[in-house]
Amino acid sequence: MANAVVSPDLIQVLARIVGEENVRADEPMSAHTTFKIGGPADAYVMPRTADEVAAVVRACDEAGAPLAVVGNGSDLLVADAGLRCVVMQILDNMASVRVEDTRIVAQAGATNAQVARVALEAGLAGFEFASGIPGTIGGASIMNAGAYGGEFKDVCVELACVTPAGESVRVSREEADWSYRHSMMGDAGYIVVEAVLDLARDDAAAIKDRMDDLKARREEKQPLEMPSAGSTFKRPEGYFAGKLIQDAGLRGYRVGGAQVSTKHTGFVVNAGDATAADVRQLIVDVQNRVFDEFGVRLEPEVKMWGF
């Protein structure tokens, strides 16, 4: 752990909170990102309850160690040198989902696909748009994930969160202040532990048809067979990022193992052994070329950590 800011003492404290089996030192982030890229995190911790999340937050705060939260890592580019902090994963250990009448209460580590399946089985409509977004409910809450005309803010009525001070709070839809790929929780550093979705009753066969249709559209348009983090850039006002990139002649453009997808120019893919440095350089090159050609500044949607 060269230059680590996470002490062995803190790792022991974390192990007491979440159990030995749920803490790792020097954990490669490439195993936890859909890009399959990223160096080691000093410490990687996988809490099982909201109380454990709060206790980890307080322990890191007391130790002066920075803390980052990861869900399914489907919107992340982590630097090759890794992360000098504690990374908290909210995924499988906090993934329970229950139905209450027309509402679904999901822990933040449940995946969108898992919640969509539960909604389908319960005959509840409104979450089909998210069934193919390969992240968690926590990631969807922070990013206001959206696709095919639907957004997380349309269905989520309440969240349970842990604040940076380690306090448990409820957050209403109004307080969440969602807009395009933005939330109050992201700004304030809140950790999402649970979300309540309000859906509408519908025929299960009709829900399934809509999910199948969106799945087919994704498979046709997106390079799902290659590691990526989805759309690399936010949609610029009045344009489509993929179209600008294509019109700038960058389809298939490569830096090392990173490539502008030939199938969907809005995606940067890991075409084999790409480093984070490759992807980052490619992003900068694309931004510069598109700006030179069209005067539009593309802003990354993908979160870049450790640079």
Ligand X SMILES: Cc1cc2nc3c(=O)[nH]c(=O)nc-3n(C[C@H](O)[C@H](O)[C@H](O)COP(=O)(O)OP(=O)(O)OC[C@H]3O[C@@H](n4cnc5c(N)ncnc54)[C@H](O)[C@@H]3O)c2cc1C
What are the residue numbers of the active site? Answer: 181, 231, 301
Which is closer to ligand X, CB of 96 or CB of 288?
A: 96
What is the C-alpha to C-alpha distance for residues 287 and 153, in angstroms, rounded to an integer?
Answer: 29
From candidates 45, 90, 260, 268, binder to ligand X by CB under 6 A: 90
Give least dist CB 253 to ligand X, A.
Answer: 19
- 156 contacts ligand X (rule: CB under 6 A): no
List the interface residues with ligand X, window 67-86 (CB under 6 A): 68-76
The CB-of-48 to ligand X minimum distance in angstroms stands at 14
Comparing C-alpha atoms, which of 146, 148, 126, 123 is closest to residue 215?
Answer: 148
- The terminus-to-terminus CA distance of the chain in angstroms comes to 18
**Mask for 236-275, x = binds ligand X (CB under 6 A):** ----------------------------------------
The yes or no reply on residue 38 touching ligand X (CB under 6 A) is no
User: Minimum CB separation from ligand X for residue 151, in Å?
Assistant: 8
Neighbouring CB atoms inside 10 A of 284's CB total 12
Among 11, 191, 268, 282, binds ligand X (CB under 6 A): 191
**Hey, what's the torsion of the CAs at 127, 133, 138, 139, to 10 degrees?**
-140
Question: How many residues of this chain bind ligand X (CB under 6 A)?
Answer: 32
Q: How far is the CB of 302 from ligand X (least distance, A)?
A: 8
Phi and psi at residue 26, in whole multiples of 5°?
50, 50
Of the residues 131, 183, 228, 270, which one makes contact with ligand X according to CB under 6 A:
228
CB of 292 to ligand X, least distance (A): 27
Q: Position of tokens 């949607």?
A: 301
- CA–CA distance, 281 with 264 (Å, rounded to integer): 19
> Which tokens belong to 214?
């969106």
> 11, 45, 122, 229: which one contacts ligand X (CB under 6 A)?
229
Alpha helices by DSSP H, 148-263 = 152-155, 173-176, 184-188, 204-221, 241-247
Instruction: Find, among 12, 50, 37, the residue nearest to 255 by Cα.
Output: 37
Residues 107-146 contacting ligand X, CB under 6 A: 108, 133-136, 138-140, 142-143, 145-146
Residue 116 token pair: 């969509």
Nearer to ligand X, 23 or 132 (CB): 132
Q: Check residue 46 for interaction with ligand X (CB under 6 A).
A: no
- In a 3-state reduction of DSSP, which class is residue 189? coil
What are 99's two structure tokens?
């139905």
Residues contributing to the site for ligand X (CB under 6 A): 34, 68-76, 90, 108, 133-136, 138-140, 142-143, 145-147, 191-192, 222, 224, 228-230, 303
